[in-house]
Chains A and B, each alone.
Chain A
Amino acid sequence: MTCCCQGENNAGEKCTSSSIDLHLLEDVIGNYRGVEGSLISVLQKAQDIYGYLPISVLQHISDNMGVKRAKIYGVATFYTQFRLNPMGKYIILLCQGTACHVNGSEKIETALCDELKVKMGETTADGIFTLNEAACLGCCSLAPVMMINGRAYGPLTPDKARNIIREIYDREKESSREEVGA
C-alpha cells in the first residue's frame, strides 16, 4: 500500500511509507487490542504520535486490531479532528463560532491567509503553520478568537493576528539558528 500523499506531501518533501516508524504504535495497540469500541481512542493516540494519520498507520491498525480498513477509513474521515495529511508544527484553529462571525472573523481569516500565503485548510510550504477552522472554541466573549496549539488568542484584529504569527515565526527562526549553532 502506498502512502496517501503518493510520494509527495504538502510540504513538498519526499514522503514514503517506510519513513513512518510503525513500532511507535506498539504500546497503543497493546493497550487497546480487544477493547471494544476503542477505535476512536486508538486513532487519537496514533495522531498524537505522528501528527496525522498516514495510510500505512491505518493499515497497521487494521492488521493488528482486526478492524476492517473500510471502517477505519470511515471513522477517520467522519470526524474533523482526524487528518490524513501531515500538518504544520503550529496548528492554527480559527474559530467560526457565531460570536466570532458577527465580530468579524472573516477579516481575520483574510489577514491570516494573506500573512501565511495559504488557503483555509492548507499548510505553509515550510511546514510551520497549518490554518484550520474550528466550529466554536467556546471563548465567545473574546471574539474573534484563534487557538494555536491549544492556546487561545483574542480578541483579535487583523493586525494583531498577523503579529502573533510573526512572533512565532521569529521564535522559530531563532531556535533553528540556535540548533545550527549548537
Chain B
Amino acid sequence: MIIRIGLGSCGIAAGGLQVWDAVKEEIDLRGLDIHLEQTGCIGMCHHEPLLDIIYDDGKIITYGSVSPEMVKEIFSEEMTPVDKYIISTDDKPNDFLAGQVRVALRNCGVMDPESIDDYIKNGGYKAIGKVVSEMSPEQLIEEIKISGLRGRGGAGFPTWFKWNATRQEKNPDKYVVCNADEGDPGAFMDRSVLEGDPHSVIEGMAIAGFAIGAQTGIVYARAEYPLAIRRLEIAIKQAQDKGMLGKNIMGTSFCFDIAVKQGAGAFVCGEETALIASLEGERGMPRLKPPFPSQHGYWDKPTNINNVETFANVPWIINSGGSAFAAMGTEDSKGTKVFALAGRIKRGGLVEVPMGMSLRDIIFGLGGGIKDDKKFKAVQMGGPSGGCIPESLIDTPVDYQSIRNTGAFMGSGGMVVVDDTTCMVDLARYFLKFTQSESCGKCVQCRIGTKRMLEILERLCAGKGKTGDIELLLNLGNQIIEGSLCGLGQGAPNPVITTIKYFRHEYEAHINDKKCPAQQCKALITYHIDPDLCKGCGLCVKKCPVDCIAGEKKQPHVIESSKCIKCGTCLEVCPSKFGAVVVE
C-alpha cells in the first residue's frame, strides 16, 4: 500500500507537512507496511491538503482537506475507505478532474517529483532516447510542426518555427533557455509543473537542444519559487547521475547539460530580450527585435527560449506522435492548455483542457461556479497585459484567436474570476499599479504614460473623476501601445481598455454620480446602521478597529462617519439574520 501526500507549495501552505507527520506517526505506531511518498500539485488546490491511498490492487482513493485528526480516523478504520472524506477515486473521478485531459500535467500529483525512478517508471526519458537514437533534428522539428504546438508563455508563437530558426544559424555555440520567470499575477502552472514534474521540463529542454544543435540549457527561474528551484536542482543532479544529461547522452554523441539561474524579481524579465539581459547579469531591459534571440541571444549566440509548459508538452508529443497532439484542440490552437483558475471561484486550481473549450465550461463546469453563489461578472485573462471578458462573452471558446478577439489575451493561462463585488475601475487601477511599478523605464510612453494612467484611475476611485477622463485614458492607452518596445508596455493599457469597453457604465458612475456600483471604492461609499434592524448585540462595537461605533446594549448602534475607515468589518460581523449594516 502506498500513501501519497500532495506537497506542492499550496499543499504545504494548507498544512500538508502536518498531515505528513501525522501519517508517519501512525505508520510507525502501528508498525504498518505502507510506503509513504510525496507528490506535487494535482491541481485541486481548493481541496488541499490531499492524501491518496493506493491499495495493492491498484485502486486509488483521494481524501481532501485532510487534517491530522482525519488521519487518525482513517488509520483507526484500518484503512478501509472513510466515505465522508473521499473527494475522488480512480474509477470515479470528481467533476474537477473528469473534464480534464492532462498532457503537460500528466505526472503532476501522481508521482514523486524528487524521484527520477518514478519518472522513468511513468515513461520518462523515453522520448529523448527515441530522439537521439532514431530521429534527425529535421525529423524532430517536423514532428513538432505536425503537433501544432505553440508557445505556452503568452504570445503563442509556433514552437517548431523558433526551433528551426535557431537551428538554421551557423554559429555552433547555441543555447536553450527555459523561461520559468512566471510573473503574471494569477498564473501558477509553471510553478506547479516545476514542483510536480521537473524531469519532463529537463527532458523537453534536452530534446530542444538536440533539435537546434545546442549543448547548454539554462532555466531562468523566479526567486519567489524556492521549492520549484530546489526540486529542479535535485532533478538535474539525478539526470546527470543517470546519464540523461551531460556528455554522450545514452551512449550517443549528443551532449547537453542544464544550469539554473535565479531571477531577482522583475516582471519585465519574462520578455525574451530582457530575460537575456538579466541572464548576462545586467538590468533586465528589453531591446528592439529583430535581431531575434534565435539569431543574437545569450552572449550574442543563437538562443531558443521556450516556456516551462511548452517544454513539458514536448516529451509527450514525441512519445505519442505530433498528430495525436494535433488531434486535440482547434484549427489554429492545437493540443491542450493549462489554466490557473483563481479569484472568486468555488473550485480554484489548475486545469488542463483541450483548446477550444468554452469559458463557461471551464468556469462553471470544472470550476463549479462562483464562490458563495454570487453573480459572475467577468474573467480576467492574460495577467497585467490581458483583459476582462464579460458575462455576455462567456461562451467564447478558449483559443488564441478567439480570446484575442475579445480584447483579452491568452497569456500564460491565468484566469481570475471576479463577481459583482469587484469594482472594474479598481481592478484596472490594480493592474496599472502593477505595470507602472514594473515598467523598466526604457520607453517614455510606458514609463510616463502608465504613471499618468494610474493617476487618473486613482482619481476616479477617490471620487475625483472629471468629464473626459475616459477619453483621456483611451488616448493615453493607444499612445503607450504604439510607443512601447515590449509586451509589458504594449499590453499595459489592455486591462483599462477592455474594462472601458465592457464596463463603461461603471466608469461613468464613478465620474458622474460619484458612486461605485460594486461598493468597493472607499471614498465613494459610506457605512451606516439601520436603526430598525439593529438589535444592539454589540458585535460590531467589539470588532471595529477604530472604535467608531457607539450605542447602548440592546439599543440601535450608530457609526461615526468621520472616524470610520470603511474597513467593512462591521458588515462582516453583523449576523446575517439582522443584516443591519448598510453600505451606500
What sequence of 0s and 1s flags, for each residue 132-160 of chain A, a beta carbon within 8 Å of any chain B beta carbon?
Answer: 00111111111101000011111000100
B10 — which chain A residues lie within 8 A by C-beta? 139, 141-142, 152
Instruction: Let me know if A138 and B261 touch, CB within 8 A.
Output: no
Instruction: Let me know if B223 and A39 touch, CB within 8 A.
Output: no
Most buried by A among B46, B281, B349, B440: B281
Instruction: Let me know if A139 and B9 touch, CB within 8 A.
Output: yes
Instruction: Let me know if A97 and B186 touch, CB within 8 A.
Output: yes
A93 — which chain B residues lie within 8 A by C-beta? 224
Which 8 A-B pairs give the minimum distances between C-beta atoms? Answer: A141-B45, A141-B348, A140-B342, A79-B264, A97-B185, A138-B188, A152-B13, A99-B342
- In the complex, the chain A residue whose C-beta lies closest to that of B384 is A98
- In the complex, the chain B residue whose C-beta lies closest to that of A47 is B264
B427 at the interface (CB under 8 A from A): yes
Known A41-B261, A78-B283, A135-B185; contact A98-B416, beta-carbon cutoff 8 A: yes
Instruction: Let me know if A138 and B182 touch, CB within 8 A.
Output: yes
B340 at the interface (CB under 8 A from A): yes
Supply 15 A–B pairs (Cβ within 8 Å), ascending by A.
Answer: A39-B281, A40-B278, A44-B223, A75-B283, A78-B284, A99-B348, A103-B343, A114-B545, A134-B224, A135-B185, A135-B267, A140-B348, A140-B416, A152-B12, A152-B13
A78 — which chain B residues lie within 8 A by C-beta? 266, 283-284, 440
Which residues in chain B, 423-445, are within 8 Å of chain A measured between CB atoms?
Answer: 427, 430-431, 434, 438, 440
A153 — which chain B residues lie within 8 A by C-beta? 13
Known A79-B266, A150-B226, A151-B12; contact A138-B191, beta-carbon cutoff 8 A: yes
Give CA–CA (A161, B464) in the complex, Å: 33
Instruction: Let me know if B45 and A142 touch, CB within 8 A.
Output: yes
Give CA–CA (A36, B300) in the complex, Å: 13
Known A74-B283, A80-B265, A102-B344; contact A137-B224, beta-carbon cutoff 8 A: yes
Known A74-B283, A75-B282, A151-B13; contact A98-B264, beta-carbon cutoff 8 A: no
B183 — which chain A residues lie within 8 A by C-beta? 135-136
- In the complex, the chain B residue whose C-beta lies closest to that of A104 is B568
Give CA–CA (A138, B188) in the complex, Å: 5
Which residues in chain A, 15-52, are within 8 Å of chain B measured between CB atoms?
Answer: 36-41, 43-44
Give CA–CA (A37, B280) in the complex, Å: 4
- In the complex, the chain A residue whose C-beta lies closest to that of B417 is A102
With A37-B299, A79-B266, A103-B343 known, 7 other A-B pairs at CB within 8 A are A98-B186, A138-B188, A140-B188, A140-B416, A142-B13, A142-B14, A151-B13
Name A residues whose Cβ lies closer than 8 Å to a Cβ of B. Answer: 36-41, 43-44, 74-75, 78-82, 93, 96-103, 107, 110, 114, 134-143, 145, 150-154, 158
B279 at the interface (CB under 8 A from A): yes
B380 — which chain A residues lie within 8 A by C-beta? 98
- Interface of A, helix, strand, loop or mixed by DSSP: mixed
Known A38-B281, A82-B264, A134-B224; contact A98-B9, beta-carbon cutoff 8 A: no
B297 at the interface (CB under 8 A from A): no
Give CA–CA (A96, B433) in the complex, Å: 11
Give CA–CA (A150, B568) in the complex, Å: 30
B48 — which chain A residues lie within 8 A by C-beta? 141-142
B262 at the interface (CB under 8 A from A): yes
B204 at the interface (CB under 8 A from A): no
Known A37-B281, A102-B422, A135-B438; contact A140-B264, beta-carbon cutoff 8 A: no
Which residues in chain B, 278-330, are within 8 Å of chain A measured between CB atoms?
Answer: 278-284, 299
Instruction: Let me know if A40 and B342 touch, CB within 8 A.
Output: no
A36 — which chain B residues lie within 8 A by C-beta? 280-281, 299
Give CA–CA (A37, B342) in the complex, Å: 37
Give CA–CA (A107, B186) in the complex, Å: 19
B502 — which chain A residues lie within 8 A by C-beta? none
Known A75-B283, A141-B45, A142-B45; contact A152-B430, beta-carbon cutoff 8 A: no
